[in-house]
Structures are given as C-alpha cells and as structure tokens.
Amino acid sequence: MTTVPASTREEWRQSWPTVLAALVGMSFYSVITYSLSTFIGPLEHEFGWSRTALSSGLTIFAAISMLGGPFVGLAVDRLGTRRIAITCMALSGLAFAAFSLVDGSLVQWTALYVIYGVVALGIKSTVWSAGISSVFTKGRSLALAVMLSGSAVGQTLAPITANALINAFGWRSAYIWLGLGWAGLALVLTVFLYFDAHARKARVIDKTAVKGPVVILPGLTLPQAIRDARVLRIGAATLLSSVVGSGVTVHLVRIVSESGIPMNRAVEIAALAGIAGIVGKLGCGWLLDKVQGSVIPFLGFAVGSLGHFLLIGLFAGALPMVVGVMCIGFASGAGLQISTYLISRYAGLRNFGTIMGTIASTMMAGAAIGPLFAGAVHDATSSYDLLETIAAPAMFVAALLFVGLGPYPVFPDPQAQD
C-alpha cells in the first residue's frame, strides 16, 4: 500500500524538491506566451510581418494544447509524469531555441509553432499537477499553488529577460539563451529532483522484483468520472469562469480606461490583477489544506463576481476600479488552483491526468471564446458595461456549482490486495 506521510510538514520535507522542479518547469511553459510581445518589435522590423501573423503562432499553440490535453493526460496516467516531463522539457528547450533559425518564411514560423506546441504538451500544467498531487495529501493544495505560481514567475521574468537578451545579443541569440538556458535549468532540476508517485513506486518495485506490475493510483475509473456529478460540476464551473475571465482579462486595460481613467493609470491598475492572482493562488492553496468543504471554492469564485459588478460602471472614481480589478485577479489566480485541487480530491489520482487534461482543454476553448465574445459585445454596444453585467452573475453561478459537493471520498488502493 502507499505510505502516506504523517503530516503536512513531513510531506514538504520529503517532496519540496519535486515542487521546486515543477515550479521552474511550469515557469518555462509560460515563456513562449509572455516573451512574444518582446520579440514582436525585432521580428516585425527584420521581416516586415504583421502583428496578426506574429500572433498567429500563439493561436496554433493554444489549439494544440486544447486538442492534445486529453491525450497527454492519458499518457500521464499510464506512464507517470517524470519520464514525460524530462523528455518533453529537453525537446521543448531545443524547439524554443530553433526559433532563432527563422528566415522570414511564415510557413517556417508556423511549422516551428506546431513542433513546439506538440512537444510542450508534456510540460503543461496537467503534467506537473498530476505529479505534485501524487506525492502530497495533507499539503496538496498549497503545493499545487506554489507549482502553479510558476506561470506568474514566467509572466514576470520572461519579458524582462527576453528584452535584456535582445538588447545585449540580438533576438536570435535571445531565443537560444531562453531555450537552452531556462529550459536547461528546468531539465536539470527535473532529472535530479522531480520524482512523482509512479517513479517512487517503480524504484521500490525494481528493488524487490525483476518485473513489477503497472503502478495504479487510487481514484475513479474514467466511466465513473464521466457519470460523477461532482466532477461534472467542477468542470462546468471551470469552463464558465474561463470564458468570463479570459474575455475580461484581455480587454481589462480598455475596460478601466474607458471608465474615464487616463491610459497610463489604467495600465497600472490592470497590473494589480497579476499581484492579486498570486495572492489568490497561494491564499486559497493554504486555506484548502485547512478547511474542507465548499466555503473556500465558493468564496474564491464569488470574489470574481463582485469584481465584475464593480466594473459595470455604476460607481465613479478609481477606487471601485482598483478593487474590482484586484477581485478579478484574485479569482483568476484561485480558479485553476481550486479546480485542480478539487479534481484530485473528488476524482482521485487513478485517471487524474486524463480528467484534468480534458478540463484543461475545455478551459483553452473557453479562453479562445471569451475574448471574441467580449470584443463582439463592445462592438455592438460601444461599451463594456453589458459584458460586465453578464460576467457578474455568470461567475456567481460558477461559484454556486461548488456548493454542496460534500466530503472528500476515500478511494481504496487498487494494489492493496496484491
């Protein structure tokens, strides 16, 4: 049977290296998105490409992530995350560095994004979340929150690092340094520090048998998960919040500025969402380990509903905008953390990768729909008030879906009878 550490402190003592490696790995996964704005200028100047052409790569990347999510989740459930993460981190670093070879062909640009999108499936949040969930029980939520904060690290450091490298060495060398340097660090940490439950069980089996059985973790089977009302409610809440959150976030600066606040000030206010997101992620992560039930998930999403209400335009001045933006950022940071943790509890770890991978794919679909819907609403009404009027109750409905989920189930170990 699986040995469960006696306390949260003991879990962290044993597995903090795994969290560190996953955090750095997650940070590199976000570099492709948050560094592009820095590369746009040099690429536009050298090749004369349009912003639409330059941005098309991220659309390809998102589409591959959406379509490939369930498949990488299935691989995680069968093989564990260590081998997948090591292999794909090495390939992702090389693929990122290969952008330095761009010669002005948009076909080549597209092909590089297709290659990168495929190999990066193995370092997306689903992979790291499955690994962290497999080695943490009592401290799982905070561990997931720390790991998922890697995206915020990437969001903060990628533009700064890319800009410094471009200024010092040029854009081609910047791609190489980011690909081989950042991914190289993540790869080293993953090889030497990252061990999920599959890897730990396999090492025990290797010492006791010539060939051991396939490692199976406790949890729902796929047919059970598809029929489980709690899993479906968590998935629905996540999709709804993704559509709302992405739509508002992409247009957030304009939402604030069109309320009468100067653009420079609007940018500063919108930036507060990122800080609030980290607070939401870590705060809810810590609380979910302490408080079982629907209270924290409900409040985490309901705060977002309040934020959207404050941005409708019913209140004058900058203060409602500041509070509203921070509420939206808090909910955005807490959302993925809450959903990931609850799926690991209510569905277990047996097919966590497949289930969470599917939910992550629906989130990507929501993230694609949201900005288009927000833009269409503004084009039709010349205002964002209707968007926020829709977003506020939608987020509250998402919050209500967490009410009454009930106590966490205890799953028997499938290998306990062996």
Q: Count Cβ atoms below 10 Å from residue 3 Cβ, excluding itself.
A: 7
Q: Based on the domain organization, do 177 and 227 belong to the same domain? A: no
Does some domain include residue 356? Answer: yes
CATH of the domain at 351: 1.20.1250.20
pLDDT in tens, the chain (418 residues): 444 445 888 999 999 999 999 999 999 998 998 888 789 889 999 999 887 788 888 888 888 998 998 999 999 988 889 999 999 999 999 999 999 999 999 999 999 999 999 999 999 999 999 999 999 988 999 999 999 999 888 877 888 899 999 999 999 999 999 999 999 999 999 999 999 987 776 655 555 544 445 567 788 988 999 999 999 999 999 999 988 988 888 788 888 888 889 988 888 888 788 888 889 989 999 999 888 878 999 999 999 999 999 999 888 789 999 999 999 989 988 988 899 899 999 999 889 889 988 898 888 888 778 888 888 888 899 899 999 999 999 999 999 999 999 999 888 876 655 4
Q: Based on the domain organization, do 306 and 204 belong to the same domain? A: no
Token pair of 378, please? 């503004």
pLDDT (0 to 100) of residue 90: 98
Number of H helices, E strands in the chain: 20, 0
Q: Based on the domain organization, do 119 and 236 belong to the same domain? A: no
Rounded to whole angstroms, the Cα distance separating 46 from 100 reads 13
Range of the domain at 362: 222-400
Does some domain include residue 417? Answer: no
Yes or no: say if 296 and 405 are a contact pair by the CB < 8 Å rule.
Answer: no
Does some domain include residue 406? Answer: no
pLDDT (0 to 100) of residue 1: 42
3-state secondary structure of 348: strand
Q: Based on the domain organization, do 171 and 231 belong to the same domain? A: no
Q: Based on the domain organization, do 197 and 228 belong to the same domain? A: no
Q: Based on the domain organization, do 173 and 292 belong to the same domain? A: no
Q: Based on the domain organization, do 284 and 363 belong to the same domain? A: yes
Yes or no: say if 243 and 370 are a contact pair by the CB < 8 Å rule.
Answer: yes
Does some domain include residue 43? Answer: yes
Strand partners, 219: 348
Q: Based on the domain organization, do 262 and 385 belong to the same domain? A: yes
H/E stretch holding 409: none
Rounded to whole angstroms, the Cα distance separating 119 from 202 reads 25
The one-character DSSP state at 138 is T
Domain count, the chain: 2
